[in-house]
Amino acid sequence: MSEWIMLALQFFSDLGYIGIMLGLMVEVIPSELVLGYGGYLVGIGQLTFSGALIAGVIGGTLAQLFLYWAGYFGGRPFLLKYGKYVLIKEKHITMAEEWFERYGVAVIFTARFIPVVRHAISIPAGIAKMSHWKFLIYTVAAIIPWTVLFLLLGKLLGENWQEVRSFATPYIIPLTVLSVLFISGYIMWSQKRTPPIITVKKMNDYNRKG
């Protein structure tokens, strides 16, 4: 792990719960490391688990809200110009847009467990003017288990908390698979509920021609 990350984490740890929130809001350091280090601090008694959980959920939610607002008020051009400052590249935005267009609002929850996409999925939600409350509910529902997982792993690993990302892989893979299955099921359910508007239109056009 690079020296600057360790210095940043040490700075955030000195701020306690506020530090966890800031670390997640800035998003310069991967959230897994911030939460893993937070779990380590819980293990040595510097923080409580409930306090770290609350701080983690608030910080993670605010980070996604900032991206959502950037998409909502600034749009794609704004993010292409300034996204690099929060480590978001054009390919991340494009991929997130494709996922959002393909799977709809349900992806706001499920994409949190899928690498690359989860970092930028809030952007197309903002651009599409998704309901603030619906976005917030989906986001918090996904951030809670993510935060609990890495806090627990950081606590269990102790001084080896830096290995939290590799130790999390066996847990993230099932979450990813479940997320993909959930998206597939949601799409099938939505298609069954959606009236065949296109088919009806085509039939009307055919009747008029007849």
Cα angle for residues 40, 43, 45 (degrees, 5° grid) = 115
* Closest by CA position to 15, among listed 32, 31, 38: 38
Query: What whole-number distance in Å separates Cα of residue 57 and Cα of residue 132?
Result: 17
CB-based burial, 141-174: b 16+ in 10 Å, e otherwise: ebbeebbbbbbbbbbebeeebbebeebbeeebee
Asked if residue 36 lies in contact with residue 166, where contact means CB atoms within 8 angstroms, the answer is: no
Instruction: Specify the pLDDT at position 207.
Output: 43
Greater model confidence, 1 or 97:
97
* Closest by CA position to 105, among listed 151, 137, 67, 76: 137
Q: pLDDT band at residue 115, thresholds of 50, 70 and 90?
A: low
Asked if residue 60 lies in contact with residue 92, where contact means CB atoms within 8 angstroms, the answer is: no
- 71 CB burial (10 A radius; 0-12, 13-18, 19+): buried
Instruction: Give 26-80 pLDDT, tens digit per residue.
Output: 777 778 888 988 999 999 999 999 999 999 999 999 988 988 898 888 877 777 7
Instruction: Give 119-132 pLDDT, tens digit per residue.
Output: 778 888 888 888 88
Question: Using the 8-state DSSP alphabet, how is residue 172 labeled?
Answer: H
* pLDDT reading at 113 higher than 50: yes
Query: What whole-number distance in Å separates Cα of residue 158 and Cα of residue 142?
Result: 25
Instruction: Specify the pLDDT at position 72.
Output: 84
Instruction: Give 147-180 pLDDT, tens digit per residue.
Output: 998 999 989 988 888 888 777 766 666 666 666 6
Contacts of 135 (CB under 8 A, 6+ apart): 68, 105, 108, 122, 125, 126
Asked if residue 18 lies in contact with residue 130, where contact means CB atoms within 8 angstroms, the answer is: no
- 30 CB burial (10 A radius; 0-12, 13-18, 19+): middle
pTM: 0.74
Query: What whole-number distance in Å separates Cα of residue 141 and Cα of residue 139?
Result: 5
